Structure 1
Amino acid sequence: MIDALTQVSWLAVALATVAATVVAGVYFGALVPQAYQRVLGRAGQPAPAATPVTAIGPVVCILATVVASAVLVAALDLTTATDAVVFALVVGVGYLVAMTFQIAINPNMPHPLRYGLLNAPFFLVTSLTTSLILVLV
């Protein structure tokens, strides 16, 4: 598995990270901002002020996910678009969507299932996008 690090396409990692960051901006900034506020129980409240953590943190998390996926893509020797889609669905559903629901299901989340359902499409789309880039670039 350590050998897979030498096979990672760092250009693909960079492109996938940028692509996922753009998808996040469009999804959460343009497509679902009001719905997101509602599932957080913050409907009608002003958005919290941006901080370095809220500005940079998501990009760092996306990068970590993309690097982990890149290592797995290399270790598994995935080379086709079909490989990428299958990998994306396994990672997207098995890890990303499942963890979204797991994080949401707690007493502090006012609408955990709605939160998971709202976030799941983002994670599936980014998993598909990044996996295709990692395999095909």
Structure 2
Amino acid sequence: MLAALSEINWFAVIVATLVFAVLGGLYFGVIVAKPYKVALGNENRELPKPGPIFIVGPLVSSLLVVITSAVLLRALEIESVGAGIGFGLVISIGYLIAQTLTIAINPNFPRPLLYTLINAPYFIVCTVTASTILTLWQ
């Protein structure tokens, strides 16, 4: 499976990772900023200004998700856009959203279901878009 690393279009990986970053900034910083604070129990708190880890961390995580998706797409020989979209849905729902819910179900997340519901559209859109880019630019 790791042999697929040599077959990856790295330009597509960079573009797909940038999609995650741009959509993440817009989605969490603008579109769902207030509900996201509510889901985390921070609606009445002034939050500190985010440091570099709040930019670099998600970017590195997104890069790892995209590289993993690229490896799996190649290893599974997924070549059609429809199959790429299906793959993105399976990964986003089956792994990313499910894992988000698992992480959120602990005492530090006051509203785990809301947190998961807020994150779900981001993961679906980004992963399907990334899978489509990776499929088109093989």
Q: Identify the TM-score tier after normalising by the shorter chain.
A: over 0.9
Please give the residue correspondences for 1:97-136 in structure 2 after superposition, counting only pairs within 5 Å.
97-136=97-136
Shift of 1:83: 0.9
**2:52 match:** 52
Q: Describe the SS at the equivalent of 1:43.
A: coil
Q: CA deviation at 1:73?
A: 0.8
Which amino acid in structure 2 is aligned with residue 35 of structure 1?
P
Secondary structure class of the residue paired with 1:12: helix
The offset of 1:3, in angstroms, is: 1.4
Aligned residues: 137
| Cα deviation code 1:8-45 (max 9, x no counterpart) | 11011001001111110110011000000011000032
Please tell me whether residue 38 in structure 1 is matched to residue 48 in structure 2.
no
Gaps of 5+ in 2: none
What is the DSSP-based 3-state SS (H/G/I as helix, E as strand, rest coil) of the residue aligned with 2:78? coil
2:82 corresponds to which residue? Answer: 82
Identity over aligned pairs, percent: 43
Letter in 2 for 1:94: G
The letter for the 1-side match of 2:92 is G
* Cα distance in structure 2, aligned partners of 1:102 and 1:128: 21
In structure 2, give the amino acid aligned to 1:89: L
- Structure 2: how far apart are the matches of 1:17 and 1:54? 16
Alpha-carbon RMSD: 0.9
1:93 — aligned with what?
93
Return structure 1 stretches of 4+ with deviation > 4 angstroms. none
Give, in whole Å, the separation in 2 of the partners of 1:92 and 1:116.
Answer: 12
Amino acid at match of 2:50: A
Residue ranges of structure 1 left out of the alignment (5+ in a row)? none
> Does 2:8 match 1:5?
no
How far the C-alpha of 1:49 sits from its partner, in A, is: 1.7
